[in-house]
Amino acid sequence: MKKTSTRLADGRELIYYDLRDDTVRGAPDRRPPARTVTTSGIRRDVLLGDAVAVASHRQGRTYHPPADECPLCPSRDGRLSEIPDPSYDVVVFENRFPSLAGDSGRCEVVCFTSDHDASFADLSEEQARLVLDAWTDRTAELSHLPSVEQVFCFENRGPEIGVTLGHPHGQIYAYPFTTPRTALMLRSLAAHKEATGGENLFDAVLERELADERVVLEGEHWVTFVPYAAHWPYEVHLYPRRRVPDLLALDEAARAEFPRVYLELLRRFDRIFGKADSPTPYIAAWHQAPFGALEEFDGVTRDDFALHVEVFTIRRTSGKLKFLAGSESGMSVFINDVPPERAAERLREVAGS
């Protein structure tokens, strides 16, 4: 992998990740410098104890542009975009409309390929490995920023999810706090560790899932399963067999196998509902241990956390979406219409079809 860091006309950082070491990146951003205004701020909800990012400037972000005006395609044929070069393998750049900025963190866009009509599932294993390496590199770099406590790599796919740019891409949020969902995991880890005299809850969950009927596919270094208490109709968790706290701690064997397992999982998601409902909208979310202090979670260290990916779709059956209505949105109590065992069975049925 070759990494080349540069700056856009307005000062935002842009980084090329290339498969070939002899690739040269030197195209300047020829767009006139534009004034970038961000209004991001963090407000605490004193009743719930969580945080809300308020970012009014995002009301003006690019919304469903036609393909020939996509800002994530490379600059060519006289049209200028966010990526100055006429081609690329993987690109990461600071979001022009960030939810988090300055002392409130940082947001980045990850473009998986220059092919506007592709998806992550269309990537080769070599390309998927390059994306993994980019996620890892950005996690390392962002973790050193003084305002950052947790790094979250994720992909939203499909207009049903709320995606406003059709080009295959994901995002990275670098939060200035430990996110509420991660804090819940850490509290459960601490309670289980104390109750069992030191047993790791992630290890116990993985052992239970491997012995049950919800395993979807397995590799030598990775395993995927529909969790016992899945929140979403089709939800799969992908774990490395060797527990590590973050992307940086994965060994080479796990990195080498990841593209094959992950690409197969995404391709199965596209087969769940048949061609009429493909591609399947989904969210893919990497859970990593926070880089900040964990004193409030008694007895828990970063090494107790287990890196994993959660992939889920909001489609519950052909032509129907799962909406977060009263119970989910009002009380955070999910109601799942698809038994996790049936979801796992369906995901096994569509292997290689």
Active site residues: 169
β-partners of residue 154 are 171, 285
- Distance CA(160)–CA(320), nearest Å, equals 11
- Distance CA(257)–CA(259), nearest Å, equals 6
- Distance CA(90)–CA(111), nearest Å, equals 6
**Kind of pairing, strands 169-175 and 215-218?**
unpaired
Give the Cβ contact number of residue 213 at 10 Å: 12
Distance of CA 35 to the CA centre of its chain: 29
- Distance CA(178)–CA(149), nearest Å, equals 6
Q: Residue 266's closest CA among 250, 253, 277, 282?
A: 282
Residue type, 203: D
- Helical spans, DSSP H, in 168-251: 180-196, 201-210
Burial of 172: CB neighbours in 10 Å, binned 0-12, 13-18, 19+: buried
- Distance CA(253)–CA(140), nearest Å, equals 20
User: Is the preceding omega at residue 279 within 30 degrees of 0, hence cis?
Assistant: yes
CA torsion angle 218 222 226 227 (round to 10): 130
- Determine phi and psi for 181, rounding to 5 degrees: -65, -40
Beta strand spans in 158-263 (E): 169-175, 215-218, 222-225, 234-240
- Distance CA(17)–CA(27), nearest Å, equals 15
Q: Residue 299's closest CA among 204, 182, 199, 152?
A: 199
> The dihedral of CA 244, 248, 249, 255: what is its sign?
positive
